[in-house]
Chains A and B, each alone.
Chain A
Amino acid sequence: MSEIPMTYVLFVSFALFFIGAYGFLTRRNMITMLMAVELMLNAVNINFVAFNKYLFPEKGDGVFFTIFIITIAAAEAAVAIAIIINIYRKFKSIDSEDADTLKW
């Protein structure tokens, strides 16, 4: 079975990363922004796994890293959502444009 070349995988991950970044920059809903970050993190995960598998299969560094990223992303999301809920309580909105009392 012929392997899918690494570049294909990398293409997906890069695309995912920039889609995530784009999403983050354009979305105003904070939850969506958080999801965009998750996309970016997943792109990184793909990267790590792909590099590990294709280039350095003798050690499992990349895969381990991926696991940690997933964990931490979860934690991050938890805290973020907690904060977003708090914001919603105060601002009655989770639109990032609305929460702009602190500026200049």
Chain B
Amino acid sequence: MSLLNYISMMRFEVFALGIIVLLLLVKIFSEKLNTSFILGFINVALVGLLVAGFIGHPHGNIFGRMFLNDGTIMLEKQIITFATLLIFLQANFWLKKQENCLEFCLLLFSVLIGMYFLVSSGNFLMFYLGLEMATIPLAALAAFDFGRMRSAEGAGKMILSSAFSSAILLFGLSLIYGTTGSLDFNEVRDAYSSSALQLFTLAFVFVGFAFKISIVPFHLWTADVYEGSPVAVTSFLSVVSKGASLFIFMTVLYRVFPMAQETWVHILVLLSAITMTIGNLFAMRQTNIKRFLAFSSITQAGYILIGVAATSSLSMASVIYFILIYTFSNICAFTVVSIISDRNGKEDIDDYKGLYKTNPLLSIAMMLAVFSLAGIPPTAGFFGKLFLLTSGASSGLIALIIIASLNMIVSLYYYLKIVKAMFVDKNESPIEKISIDISAKTVLIICFVGILAVGFISFVFEYIHSLSFGL
């Protein structure tokens, strides 16, 4: 295998690594940093990454099956890259004001590389490395807002709980290694015999994922970190980090533990029901919009688990499809939050009262976003959610679907509260008219198109389905 092949296989990783190196060099050699130049460069680089994904479809594995690549993984990476691009664009305005803009980019790309490796991993070692790489810099990012107490507190909670979670995960992995004699996904699968100890280890591994995806009761850090972090990091956490973890979660469950399917489907169903219910109940009472979106994203994770539990190729396609749609909707919402928060630091739902009067575009964007999250037609969220439920139905998870549908009513309630604040409520001093910078505007437009079009255009789903697999 030629070097070119290696690079082609690992194009995302290599590309991202190159950027990191470049940034470091810039950091070392330039006296005074030109932030807008760096931002422009990163924007272009991310677009380049995205484009790079479209050239050819490398299949195969390298490093002794440590690193895998196929269509699904490429797609997942592209979604991750795309989401990162959107988030970065959204954060441009904020980053311009930061002295340490470069560090932010460095950390972001480290996380990104971690995620690339994570979704590409074919071995638990690689998986672990990717996971930690995607977590530790993220904790640093969460603490990026030096000046704010909350940022530090959130980051502290994140790093400590993630350390704990990875310790538990590792313990599980060590037991897997002990019982199967390998860390390679395929070999583990072949050696897996569903003995009591192995099932026990499954629980430990499971929890490692559950932490990242913030499934109840492993979600408690989520809201605090979301609230404390800068908006850009929050959206990254809620979209990219969660998405990447879900991708690998599915891969691991489907590829490594098919023997224990019955066991983990039960657990997934149980946790899914708990997750959406608890997420909803907490989301109802939030007043901070970021915290609110944190719980909303927990609820969404609950819905996604339905698709994971359904274990068919259609359900996997639905999950990826949903994550794509969720990306659009959540980023749209966070973009609005960041635009407002960056200008005047207002993050309370009450501050949004009367927003439509002064900022119609932002309100409509927010409305579309929450409707999409709530699964209201004609937004794409409707299709995403319905496909998840349909996949659940096809696998006969009727009870779970009933719970999910009931939860959708509750979630509609609080999503409508946001809409109500913006469109209905009167406010003496609403947020004044905001001129939106061009990059954020681009994000909003892309999200508009995404939210409205991804659902109707069946091609997207067909494409995803052609790449997905199931049990």
On whether A and B touch (CB less than 8 Å), the answer reads yes
Q: Mark A47-59, 1 if CB is under 8 A from B, else 0.
A: 1101110011000
**Minimal beta-carbon separation of B149 from chain A (angstroms):** 4
Q: Mark A71-90, 1 if CB is under 8 A from B, else 0.
A: 01001100110111011011
In B112-143, which residues have CB < 8 Å from any A CB? 124-125, 128-129, 132, 136-137, 139-140, 143
Is B163's CB under 8 angstroms from A37's CB?
A: yes
Q: Mark B229-244, 1 if CB is under 8 A from A, else 0.
A: 0000000000000000
A1 at the interface (CB under 8 A from B): no
Is B174's CB under 8 angstroms from A33's CB?
A: no
B224 at the interface (CB under 8 A from A): yes
B223 at the interface (CB under 8 A from A): yes
B156 at the interface (CB under 8 A from A): yes
What separation, in Å, do the CA atoms of A17 and B152 have in the docked complex?
A: 28
When C-beta atoms are compared, the residue in chain B nearest to A91 turns out to be B149
Is A90's CB under 8 angstroms from B149's CB?
A: yes
Looking at the complex, which one of A34, A40, A75 makes contact with B160 (CB distance below 8 Å)? A34
Is A82's CB under 8 angstroms from B171's CB?
A: no
Is A30's CB under 8 angstroms from B163's CB?
A: no
Is A62's CB under 8 angstroms from B227's CB?
A: no
Chain B residues lying within 8 Å of A91, measured Cβ to Cβ, are: 149, 152-153
**Minimal beta-carbon separation of B288 from chain A (angstroms):** 9
Chain A residues lying within 8 Å of B157, measured Cβ to Cβ, are: 99, 102
Is B146's CB under 8 angstroms from A86's CB?
A: yes
Looking at the complex, which one of A50, A69, A79, A87 makes contact with B170 (CB distance below 8 Å)? A69
Chain B residues lying within 8 Å of A83, measured Cβ to Cβ, are: 139-140, 143, 152, 155-156, 159
Contact of A37 with B164 at beta-carbon distance under 8 Å, contacts A30-B156, A86-B155, A102-B224 already known = yes
Looking at the complex, which one of A40, A52, A82, A103 makes contact with B140 (CB distance below 8 Å)? A82
Interface centre among B124, B128, B157, B159 (most CB of A within 10 A): B159
Is A99's CB under 8 angstroms from B160's CB?
A: no
A65 at the interface (CB under 8 A from B): yes
**Minimal beta-carbon separation of B198 from chain A (angstroms):** 14
Is A37's CB under 8 angstroms from B167's CB?
A: yes
Interface centre among B140, B167, B175, B285 (most CB of A within 10 A): B167
What separation, in Å, do the CA atoms of A52 and B173 have in the docked complex?
A: 13
Number of interface residues of A (CB under 8 A): 45
When C-beta atoms are compared, the residue in chain A nearest to B182 turns out to be A61
Question: Taking chain A's interface residues, is the majority helix, strand, or loop, or is none over half, making it mixed?
Answer: helix
What separation, in Å, do the CA atoms of A25 and B167 have in the docked complex?
A: 14
A68 at the interface (CB under 8 A from B): yes
Number of interface residues of B (CB under 8 A): 41
B189 at the interface (CB under 8 A from A): no
What separation, in Å, do the CA atoms of A65 and B222 have in the docked complex?
A: 29
Is A68's CB under 8 angstroms from B159's CB?
A: no
Is B174's CB under 8 angstroms from A47's CB?
A: yes
Is A79's CB under 8 angstroms from B150's CB?
A: no
Chain B residues lying within 8 Å of A47, measured Cβ to Cβ, are: 171, 174-175, 177-178
Chain B residues lying within 8 Å of A50, measured Cβ to Cβ, are: 178
When C-beta atoms are compared, the residue in chain B nearest to A49 turns out to be B174
Chain A residues lying within 8 Å of B224, measured Cβ to Cβ, are: 102-103
**Minimal beta-carbon separation of A64 from chain B (angstroms):** 7
Is B146's CB under 8 angstroms from A65's CB?
A: no
Is B156's CB under 8 angstroms from A68's CB?
A: no
**Minimal beta-carbon separation of B282 from chain A (angstroms):** 8
Is B160's CB under 8 angstroms from A102's CB?
A: no
What separation, in Å, do the CA atoms of A62 and B170 have in the docked complex?
A: 12
Is B152's CB under 8 angstroms from A87's CB?
A: yes
B354 at the interface (CB under 8 A from A): no
What separation, in Å, do the CA atoms of A84 and B164 have in the docked complex?
A: 16
In B217-269, which residues have CB < 8 Å from any A CB? 223-224, 227-228
Is A79's CB under 8 angstroms from B164's CB?
A: no
Looking at the complex, which one of A37, A44, A68, A82 makes contact with B125 (CB distance below 8 Å)? A68
11 A-B pairs with C-beta separation under 8 A: A17-B171, A43-B171, A51-B174, A68-B129, A79-B139, A83-B139, A83-B143, A83-B159, A87-B152, A99-B157, A104-B285
Counting from the closest, the 5 A-B pairs by CB-CB distance are A47-B174, A40-B167, A102-B224, A51-B178, A44-B170
